[in-house]
Chains A and B, each alone.
Chain A
Amino acid sequence: EAGVTQFPSHSVIEKGQTVTLRCDPISGHDNLYWYRRVMGKEIKFLLHFVKESKQDESGMPNNRFLAERTGGTYSTLKVQPAELEDSGVYFCASSQDLGAHGYTFGSGTRLTVV
């Protein structure tokens, strides 16, 4: 079984540019989560999809962040325009069942905004 796949693994962009991160969850997993770890801080929840619907987007920092999950398969997280404070590692996770029984994380995308 393939794991949670994220790409790119690294992205360096200039302030003001747009970046799109992609997450492919484990096949059949309806629940997809995005998290972010900013340097020196804890991993923080961004949002949760159940299939194609946003179940909880309480952690999205502001309207520069847009997450989609068309068709309930892969998800994208777009940052437009990127700011310096958006730098960090963005993790995606997926699970089959609803509920925090522990889920599988992807390897993350390290975003650097310069």
Chain B
Amino acid sequence: QKEVEQNSGPLSVPEGAIASLNCTYSDRGSQSFFWYRQYSGKSPELIMSIYSNGDKEDGRFTAQLNKASQYVSLLIRDSQPSDSATYLCAVPPGASNTGKLIFGQGTTLQVKP
């Protein structure tokens, strides 16, 4: 079992729809969770972080965390073609606070006009 798992996609949604990206992790001790966006040929860019169970909203983005189910998701409302990218879920190992991150393989999102 991979430490951080994501469906590689591609996930295709029409413009204006809600895109739902999912991630599961294996280490129950993990305390913080990150979503990065990576455009083709570019570097990963941090877009959301979440530390507590529940929802965290930032503009069109909502991160959802369920530690009991070891599940974190990213919702993108009113999806735009510019949201087309690979979304990476990243988790520090255990209760580690060193900054090391374990990444999932990423989900490719395609938003069609």
A residues in contact (CB < 8 Å) with B? 4, 31, 33, 35, 41-45, 48, 55-56, 59, 91, 95, 98-108
Contacts and interface: CB of A to CB of B under 8 A. Distances in A.
B31 to A, nearest CB: 9
Nearest to B97: A99
Interface residues of B, number: 24
B98 A105 contact: no
B99 to A, nearest CB: 5
Contacts, number: 60
B106 A100 contact: no
A104 B44 CA distance: 8
Interface of B: 2, 4, 32, 34, 42-46, 49, 88, 90, 92, 96-106
Contacts of A101: 32, 49
Nearest to A97: B99
B105 A42 contact: yes
B6 to A, nearest CB: 9
